[in-house]
């Protein structure tokens, strides 16, 4: 699989979680890529659902970085 195809898959997985109402909660980066933890609040009781994606391509890492910045500016 080409790196571009891998980027498209990673981008689609990120977009899919965002469409379901998830938000980026935590990011851990290391030499093998980035582990992006998403969280979706289920109800007012504080219950939540978490998903973690392993992002490898540099383009997808830039993509979620832009999303994170937008997410932070919306919360100001």
The CA distance from 76 to 64, in Å, is: 19
Helical H runs in the chain? 3-19, 58-74
Give percent of the chain with pLDDT exceeding 90: 84
Task: Report pLDDT digits (tens) over 7-42.
Answer: 999 999 999 999 999 999 999 999 999 999 999 987
The pLDDT confidence band at residue 43, using thresholds 50, 70 and 90, is low
Give me the number of domains the chain comprises. 1
- The whole-number pLDDT of residue 2 equals 94
> How many CA within 13 A on the CB side of residue 40?
12
**Which residue range(s) make up the domain with 64?**
3-74
């Amino acid at each position: 699989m080409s790196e571009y195809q891998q980027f498209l898959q990673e981008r689609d997985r990120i977009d899919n979680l965002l469409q379901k109402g998830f938000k980026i909660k935590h990011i851990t980066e290391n030499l093998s890529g980035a582990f992006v933890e998403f969280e979706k609040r289920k109800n007012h009781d504080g219950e939540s659902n978490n998903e973690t994606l392993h992002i490898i391509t540099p383009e997808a890492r830039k993509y979620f970085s832009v999303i994170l910045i937008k997410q932070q500016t919306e919360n100001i």
